[in-house]
Amino acid sequence: MNNKLKQLLSLVAIAAMLFTQACSPKTGPDTIFINGEVYTVDAGNSKVQAVAVTDGMIKAVGTTEEISEMAGSNTKIVDLAGMTMTPGLIESHAHLMGIGYNKLELDLMYVKTYDELVEKVAEAVAKAEPGQWITGRGWHQDKWIEKPDVMEKGFQTHDNMSAVSPDNPVFLRHASGHASFANAKAMEMAGVNRLSTESLSGEVEGGEIIKDKLGNPTGVFTERASSLVGRLVPQETPERDDQALEMAIQELLEKGITSFHDAGSGQAFIDRLQRFKAEGKLKVRQYVMLTGRQPELLEEWYERGPMIDPDHMVTVRSIKLNCDGALGPRGAWLLEAYTDRADHYGHETLPIETVNSVSEKALATGFQVCSHAIGDRANREILDRYETSFKKFPNINSKDVRFRIEHAQHLNVDDIPRFGEMGVIAAMQAVHMSSDRPWAIDRLGKARIEEGAYVWQKLLQSGAKIINGTDAPVEPVDPLPSFFASVARKTLDGFPEGGFEADQSMSRDEALRSFTLDAAFGEFEEDFKGSIEIGKAADFTVFDKNIMTVPEMEILDTKVAMTIINGEILYEKGK
């Protein structure tokens, strides 16, 4: 073959290749989202209009024109039509099964009076089989608009509830999860009476049976005393557990939540999550804290080590310790007595030395420790024990292990700087300020409230990271009321004008970061998610209003328009 023929054939081949390329579909991203108000939460708090996604990861960010030019013939184009996109919201502290079961049991979260609670119990009794347990959650006596005529130590008594349910045992958990309310039938089955403890006061280790002046139990149990009746409530079935989990996952998607920190669960829950993942039903990313209430479980996991999922769907690398109670039932552990109950300091709900032993084992085996503390004494005790444990591991930088205090609501002024100094994360739920602040001042008094309650700016200025959440089902799992509370420091009906201790409010950028990038930091995932940057997971939340610019009260009217995980739209309003 002569050279001229070779050259001709080569030219024909090149022409054929160019023709084939011209006729082939243009390769582009899987999906592009255009025409949005996109808040990236990157280092510069950049704002863009559009995002390109390939294989569940962010491929590019930029203007609508720039990203549109990348589209191929098979690229899905999602027009945001001016809506606001943020990184996928991360719930940093809540209880997944509790969210689901709140939908299967009596939901008392919105009950406004004791009479209304009694009415709901009566309705449940009318539908129940004889002897069937009536269970529920969500009552909070300090949020009722009208107090019952008879109260003991700030709580209602069981008489009216027992009258409408003489034969069905009733067990209703407080909104906080740190108290419960039982009727006469349930207490009879549990053997609870005026002789149930050594003293008429009702004090038990780590909790209290609230009694009247004659020593008769009122039906209210705080902290660990709740188990006296709670242990009799029948165990749920696996089928009901699956139903509750499915309902909880759907609720997260509808509220724009793409990742979830479960604040204390056991092996059965972890196994259920893994099964749901294998079956393609999990959908929302899970970061699980092992419950510290099962020491044998912790020992098993110390041997095993953290379970870090390469798919970023079910990760187990932290431990939850419950160190005091809640402020509502006066279970939060305080340095000074309650203002509205001068003989009472709250409860240490586990031997505080447990924090030392668990922290040391966690440091040795690679686990994070997340300790529940609401009162100022509980926070101080935990910080002291974290510090002692860190000193036993001088080769470990305390800021690298990212130990957390869950809630960190009421702090002594001397302990606030320690969060930043030690690298302890404050996992706070801003919505508690909206719900609790109007009555919390009765518990703590003006000085303690102003100096150390919900002190977000003081913590941020110490160098600490604040990660945000709802503590659902204590509060609804909707992040927007918590975002609102972060910036407005008002109740959800807008009281007071100017907000409570307004100098401690977060900016909207800070509040968004607490639900995204810093929340991802709280689970060691800030390199994978939490901001809209090239190479990170395509997890997004889309709102029908711009929560970064609308008037404060309009934040509460905002709805989630889309929830997107791995680039896939898993929830779309109205569809």
For 527-538, what is each residue's pLDDT tens digit? Answer: 999 999 999 999
Residue 47: strand pairing partners: 39
Mean pLDDT of 413-437: 97
Q: What is the pLDDT of residue 275?
A: 98
Task: Answer whether residue 55 shows pLDDT above 80.
Answer: yes
Task: Answer whether residue 177 shows pLDDT above 90.
Answer: no
Task: Answer whether residue 7 shows pLDDT above 80.
Answer: no
% of residues, the chain, pLDDT over 90: 86
- Over 327-368, what HEC string results? CCCCCCCCCCCECCECCCCCCECCCCHHHHHHHHHHHHHCCE
Residue 109 — pLDDT band, cuts 50, 70, 90? confident
- Over 71-123, what HEC string results? CCCCCEEEECCCCEEEECEEEEEECHHHHHHHHHCEECCCCCEHHHHHHHHHH
Residue 17 — pLDDT band, cuts 50, 70, 90? very low
Q: Which residues contact 345 (CB under 8 A, 6 or more apart)?
A: 333, 334, 335, 336, 337, 338, 377
Convert the pLDDT of each residue in 331-372 to its tens digit. 999 999 999 999 999 999 999 999 999 999 999 999 999 999
Task: Answer whether residue 183 shows pLDDT above 70.
Answer: yes
Task: Answer whether residue 4 shows pLDDT above 60.
Answer: no
Q: How far apart are CA 261 and CA 275, in angstroms?
A: 18
Mean pLDDT of 157-181: 94
Residue type, 26: K
Q: How far apart are CA 560 and CA 562, in angstroms?
A: 6
Q: How many CB atoms lie within 10 A of CB 69?
A: 11
Pick the range with the lowest mean pLDDT from 16-30, 89-103, 201-215, 549-563: 16-30
Q: What is the pLDDT of residue 125?
A: 92
Q: What is the pLDDT of residue 238?
A: 93
Mean pLDDT of 508-524: 98
Q: What is the pLDDT of residue 113?
A: 95
CATH level 3 topology of 98-230: Diaminopimelate Epimerase; Chain A, domain 1 (3.10.310)
Q: What is the pLDDT of residue 203?
A: 56
Sign, CA dihedral 131-137-142-145, equals negative
Pick the range with the lowest mean pLDDT from 39-53, 145-159, 549-563: 145-159
Q: How far apart are CA 194 and CA 214, in angstroms?
A: 8
Domain boundaries, the chain: 1-82+532-575, 89-95+238-524, 98-230
Mean pLDDT of 438-460: 97
Q: What is the pLDDT of residue 142?
A: 87
Task: Answer whether residue 493 shows pLDDT above 50.
Answer: yes
Mean pLDDT of 230-241: 92
User: Which CATH code of 3.20.20.140, 1.10.3720.10, 3.40.50.20, 3.40.50.2300 fits the domain covering 89-95+238-524?
Assistant: 3.20.20.140
Give me the DSSP letters along 206-275.
Answer: TEEEEE-TTS-EEEEEEEGGGHHHHTTSPPPPHHHHHHHHHHHHHHHHHTTEEEEEEEEE-HHHHHHHHH
- Over 472-536, what HEC string results? CCCCCCCHHHHHHHHHHCCCCCCCCCCCCCHHHCCCHHHHHHHCCHHHHHCCCCCCCCCCCCCCC
Q: Whole-prediction pTM value? A: 0.86
Q: What is the pLDDT of residue 206?
A: 80
Mean pLDDT of 192-218: 76
Q: What is the pLDDT of residue 307?
A: 98
User: Which CATH code of 2.130.10.10, 3.40.50.300, 2.30.40.10, 3.40.640.10 fits the domain covering 1-82+532-575?
Assistant: 2.30.40.10
Mean pLDDT of 222-240: 91
How high is the mean pLDDT of the chain?
Answer: 93
Query: DSSP assignment, residue 428?
Result: E
Residue 9 — pLDDT band, cuts 50, 70, 90? low
Q: What is the pLDDT of residue 20?
A: 43
